[in-house]
Structure 1
Amino acid sequence: MINWGIIGCGDVTEVKSGPAFNKVPGSKLVAVMRRDAAKAADYAKRHNVPRWYNDAEALINDAEVNAIYIATPPSSHEAYALAAIKAGKPVYVEKPMTMSYAAAQNMVHAADAANVKLTVAHYRRQWPLFQKIRSLLAEKAIGEVRLVQLTFCKQPPTAAELSDEKLLWRFDPAIAGGGLFHDLAPHQLDILYWLFGEAATVNGLALNQGGYYAVPDLVNGQILFRNKIVFTGSWCFTAAEATDECVIIGSEGSLRFSFFTHNSITLQRNNETTRFDFDRLQHVQQPMIEAVVNYFLGNAANPCTAAEGAEIMRWMDEMVK
């Protein structure tokens, strides 16, 4: 049985992940930690968690806890992961893996040296929608992949968002690293890695056009994969209208989908259009948590290795440097 302890039981754990730990076979949530003791106690009460802490070391050293889920902002991922690894407890860490490629490498090396399991929460890999995309590509449904084009735009933040403590940390480079790009792009870039493999070159540019906060609000990135597939992506967080579209263009057709907005895939080939629709998941991380539990129990491979998570950090570093 995997007995989980959560470090950072904030909003992301309310529905997306937290309840799933008690719904997966071989898994149980036994303790949670948050620096605000009252909020930690409230979370534990509402989710029927036996114990709560306001100190991470106390949770890590809880004898009943044998696996750690780190769901804090990125600035503390490295320190908490290293502490859990030192205690010999496997780690499931939120994305972005940490603040930088260098910090991610520290986590990789520590886990390898201690022979402790470490998985990164790139949970879209386990969604039926992205599993279907992968199978369509394997079946050559669009022939040979040539080009991938991504456009992701959001409207600028409102005054209320810029003053909301629950949201404000995402715009703070000392806490989040690179703002909304670092918060959202890992989901997209990891799927590209999972679908197309290693990059030969990565480059890009990053600007702050709107002046709403101290981190980039526009990023343009390019990847040449080792298999000669080319990716171009644009992220703009001060646009007039929201856009969320990715197109995989092949020699015989194309696949069109979104990462955050729609739960469908559009396949175009030979002047015919086929649409695949998928139900929304109640707990978006549940399929990944099940895969992680199986890995921690020794029944399956790592669904997203620390080295893979670090590689995504390297790509982002290259795009914004």
Structure 2
Amino acid sequence: MKTINWGIIGAGDVAEVKSGPAFNKVENSKLVAVMRRNATKAKDFAERHNVPFWYTSIEDLLENPEINAVYIATPPSTHLEIAKKCLQAKKFVYLEKPITLNYTEAKELKAFVSKNDTVVVAHYRRQLPAFLKVKELIDSNAIGKISFADITILQSKENKIITKTEANWRLNPKISGGGYFNDIAPHQIDLLLYYFGEIETAKGFAKSSQNNGVHELVNGIIDFKNGIQFRGIWNFNASEKDTKDVCKIYGEKGTITFSFYDEKVVLSTNEKEEIFDFENPVNIQKPMIVATVNYFLGKGKNPCDLENGVTVMKVIDAFTK
């Protein structure tokens, strides 16, 4: 293979700007086809983005011999079934988060995948400049030995950090797995794994005011095998004036502070305070897609393998079940 020819299954809001256009902007990568159940919307996406083929059937897309990789951008309730079909068809898979509805499904997917890992999880923040800077500061011992990390995500019901859709499926647990928490927390938990390594124990508590499985308040703690501890709280019922989005990592020499929806990193030690500003690409998944294409072509390592996605689902279930 010299080129990764992509098919997108689920060319909706996420694929419109965040990811879709990037497949044609990456070297050795080409967007060949899109699939949506709604023919009008599938055709419209294909025409606007200059995609040669469009389909209303997963099977039809997978039968296209040009396609050797598939981006699964449907809601989580369909991820397991679609991923299996793609893998059976011998396609590489770039899988949106959360990878499945729950940890049980995640384990089933892991068992289905062959030894040759052909799945990359779209935890794209791993490849964005601000989060790479955090990793660099940690690895360079900028704040000395790290003791713990703290995440506070406070959002009102009118939050602006989560993609809105016509049907608002994110608030239907049968489709999303558990509300806004399940939608955004995979990114945050995955970065913790990226920064701190393997987990010893994860525990938590969750509240659903309507007893419908939509977790509006989630409180979680993690004990990492290297001794670093974590505590986090996610509240999607906060007042507008109290909205907050911050992660702070504490070390013996100082702190690293950053946001998940901003592009700034602050290093604060006894000697100095430094602020690092970054700018994300318009198609925010592009850096991750670059790394994914290189991996599929055998030119690099997996930027986020399925095992990481499974661990993220295990932590999410530990926090909410």
**TM-score, length-scaled by structure 2:** 0.95
Whole-Å separation in 1 of the counterparts to 2:166 and 2:198: 35
Mapped to 2, the partners of 1:312 and 1:120 lie a distance apart of: 11
| Residue 207 of structure 1: aligned partner | 207
Instruction: State the match for 1:35 in structure 2.
Output: 37
Tell me the residue number matched to 1:146: 147
One-letter amino acid of the counterpart of residue 103, structure 2: Y
Q: Does the 8 A contact of 2:221 with 2:231 survive in 1?
A: yes
* 8 Å CA contact retained: 1:171, 1:213: no
- Aligned AA (1:201): T
Residues 93 and 121 of structure 1 are in contact (CA less than 8 Å); yes or no, is this contact kept in structure 2?
Answer: yes
Structure 1 runs, 4 residues or longer, greater than 3 Å off: 211-214
- The one-letter code of the counterpart of 1:249 is Y
Partner of 1:228: 227
Distance 2:198 2:165 in 1: 37
How much does 1:87 deviate? Answer: 0.7
Contact 2:35 2:56 (C-alpha < 8 Å) held by counterparts: yes
Letter in 1 for 2:267: L
Question: Corresponding residue for 2:83?
Answer: 81
Q: Which residue of 2 is the match for residue 91 of structure 1?
A: 93
SS at match of 2:203: strand
* 1:265-319 CA-partner distances (Å, limit 9, x unpaired): 1110015211000013211100000000001111111110001110100000101
One-letter code of the match for 1:275? I
Match in the other structure for 1:198: 198
Q: Deviations over 1:38-63 (max 9, x none)?
A: 00000000000000000111111211
CA distance in 2, matches of 1:279, 1:220: 31
* Post-superposition CA distance 1:160-212 (Å, at most 9, x none): x9xx8525200001000011000000010000000001110000000024x49
Any idea what the Cα deviations from partners look like across 1:237-279, whole Å, max 9, x if unmatched?
A: 000121100000001100011001x210111001521100001
Matches within 5 A, 1:268-307: 268-307=268-307
1:14 aligned counterpart, secondary structure:
helix
| Structure 1, gaps ≥5 residues long | none
Partner of 1:50: 52
Distance in 1 separating the partners of 2:178 and 2:137: 33
Cα distance in 1, alignment partners of residues 165 and 87 from structure 2: 30
RMSD over aligned CA atoms reads 1.5
User: Following the alignment from structure 1 to structure 2, what is the Cα–Cα distance between the partners of residues 167 and 127?
Assistant: 30
SS in 2 for 1:227: coil
Contact 1:88 1:116 in 2 (8 A): no
| Contact 1:157 1:212 survives alignment (8 Å) | no
5 Å matches for 1:91-170? 91-112=93-114, 115=116, 117-157=118-158, 166=166, 168-170=168-170
Point out the more displaced range, 58-67 or 196-205: 58-67
C-alpha distance in structure 2 between counterparts of 1:293 and 1:110, whole Å: 22
Whichever residue aligns with residue 63 of structure 1, its letter is P
Structure 1 length as normaliser, TM-score?
0.95
Aligned residue number for residue 248 of structure 1: 249
Closer, same or farther: CA 77–98 of 1 in aligned 2, 3 Å: same
Paired residues, number: 314
- Unpaired stretches in structure 2, ≥5 consecutive residues: none
Cα distance between partner residues in 2 of 1:169 and 1:102: 21
Q: 2:168 is paired with a residue of what secondary structure?
A: helix
Cα distance in 2 between the residues matched to 1:257 and 1:165: 28
Given the alignment of the two structures, is residue 239 of structure 1 paired with residue 241 of structure 2, yes or no? no
Tell me, what secondary structure is at the counterpart of 2:120?
strand
Instruction: Tell me the distance in 2 between the aligned counterparts of 1:286 and 1:165.
Output: 22
Letter aligned with residue 255 of structure 2: S
Aligned mates of 2:302, 2:185 — CA distance in 1: 22
With over 3 angstroms needed to count, the CA separation of the structure-2 counterparts of 1:196 and 1:121, relative to structure 1, is: same
